[in-house]
A and B are shown apart, each in its own frame.
Chain A
Amino acid sequence: MHKTIATLTFAALALGSLSATADIVVIVNPKNAAASLTAEQVSAIYLGSTTTFPSGGAATLADQPESAGIRNDFYQKATGRSSAQAKATWARITFTGKGTPPKELKSDADVKAFVAGDPNAIGYIDSSAVDGSVKVALKL
């Protein structure tokens, strides 16, 4: 019995550490005026209800590939919606000519390079991939 509890505890710890390594961070260009963003602000940007950062600057959005697990985790945590729900929202925006959906890139490295290279850019990557080329605006 004790052994079972110990095993369960270990399993729970292991799960906990797994999700800890899968932390997602929202990144912006180091030149971005925002020191940080709230989940509500990130949600509004990624669901297309605003096209700008709170500071007023234009936002250029990067997305991860649909096949990557991080994409659905990001939308779930930041917006409370699945990536499929977000896609339906962007379909409405696209076909009514009110905006352009986030640019789909291939990997954490590509998103990081995209954000590092564009002062207006915003993206999300695994926290382990962060370096000095980008600024973390929100930890999810």
Chain B
Amino acid sequence: MRFRISTIALAIAASLPALASAVDFSYSGFSTAAYAQTDTDEAQVGYLGQEEGIDGDGTFAIDSKIGLQVTAKFNDMISATVQGVAYADLTADWKPHLDWAYVRLQPTSNFSARAGYLRTPTFMFSDSVFIGYANLWVRPPIEVYNLAPAYQLRGVDLLWRTSLGPVNVTVQPYYGDSEAKVGTNEYTTEVPEWGGIVVSGDYGSLTTRLGYGRMELGTTTPAIVPLITALNGVPAVACGACASEARRVDLDGEKFTLLDVGVQYDDGTNVVAGEYASRDSEHGNYVMPDVHGAYLTYGRRFGGLQPYATYAFVRRDGVQESTAIPAVGPLAALSASVNGVIGTVTNDQDSYSAGVRYEVPSFWVLNGAVVKFQYDHIDVKKGDGMLNEVQPGFDGSLNMYSLSFDFIF
């Protein structure tokens, strides 16, 4: 057996040079170094999936990253790509993550299929949010981009391109499963089933897209397990609503629908990008409530200099308070606990941003580089908005300043 393995290893080693010469390898990479700071320590701006947030202390950890992509092209039909990205995750340490790893089959020039680890095109820039160089903003508006609980799919997608007269159409369905690390106490949320489709059309300067995704979550938030146990422990005769309230605070088995409409206009001088997204749950979930969010960005190019402005909002469509369990009487504590959950999750928020993106001439190994400065003003309208770690006494609004250097190589 040992002999056989070493024979195989030898055979592989011997064939490697021949294989390497037949395979066309290409390397490329991207990086962002970004600093952000707000004017308060009583709340944090952050993403799902990261331990730290942005507050008055300032941080490089939220938006900074470095990615390297290697593609091996075996022939005109088959290629394999791996993209590793290092960034600060839930452990607050810089760690490499396998962001993409897939095999791509391209039987014709307008059709391809991929299998492996992929980013889903949930929102217009979901699959390229890390490519700061390609994006206008320092970071995409969280009022839309924080609505999806997972971004990485383990599965397959298809990319089909066709044209309807002068309109270039792309159809991209995807299907698979996932797991997402969420919460400030790192735990894994299983996504046992996730599928969707995006249809987009390019006509000259105009791009429009429609995205639909449906995912099922498979993990209960650990901190809520005792509440669910308590709710399910009350006999139905004593509390008719307890079982349905237990269902609504549980993410396990909840199904979410993500709908997205995006429009982008870019005539070379003027850029307009707008997106509307909604997240709806089957049972009217309390932990990830039904919400809708949108943004509109306008930018104008003056040579390599591009100032831009954005307005974004998110609104909760789910309830602000549950009266299903009586707030007085023997079940008052359960009612308060349920409303405690409802009170701290995603709620209404507006944000106003202004920034500038400047193209730096290429130098050294940098194939292209940009510097961006962005100012954001966030107004919480209800509850904690989309902010994290909100302390008592926070007045509901904050200012944030971000500076980034993005490049590709």
Contacts and interface: CB of A to CB of B under 8 A. Distances in A.
Contact of B30 (A44, A59, A95): A95
Nearest to B362: A66
Interface stretch (A1-9, A24-32, A47-55, A132-140): A47-55
Contact of B359 (A44, A58, A84): A84
Nearest to A53: B109
A92 B406 CA distance: 13
B204 interface: yes
A96 interface: yes
A82 B301 CA distance: 10
A64 interface: no
Interface string B108-132: 1110001000110000000110110
A33 interface: no
A88 B134 contact: yes
Interface string A86-118: 011101101111101000000000000000000
A80 interface: yes
Contacts of B368: 84, 87-88, 91
Contacts of A56: 110
B322 interface: no
Given A84-B304, A88-B133, A88-B368, A96 B110 contact: no
B268 interface: yes
Given A88-B133, A91-B131, A92-B131, A97 B102 contact: yes
B168 interface: yes
Interface residues of A, number: 31
Contact of A80 (B26, B108, B268, B304): B268
B337 interface: no
Contacts of A76: 268
A4 B131 CA distance: 53
Interface string A70-92: 00000010011110110111011
B268 A52 contact: no
B114 A51 contact: no
B161 interface: yes
B155 to A, nearest CB: 14
Contact of A92 (B100, B110, B134): B134
Interface in B46-91: 67, 69, 81, 83
Given A50-B163, A97-B114, A91 B30 contact: yes
Contact of A52 (B69, B81, B109, B118): B109
Interface of A: 40, 43-44, 49-52, 54, 56-59, 66, 76, 79-82, 84-85, 87-89, 91-92, 94-98, 100
Closest 4 CB pairs of A and B: A58-B109, A80-B268, A92-B134, A49-B202
Given A87-B367, A94-B28, 18 more contacts: A40-B166, A43-B204, A50-B163, A50-B168, A51-B109, A57-B109, A76-B268, A80-B268, A84-B304, A84-B359, A85-B268, A88-B134, A91-B368, A92-B128, A92-B134, A94-B69, A95-B67, A100-B26
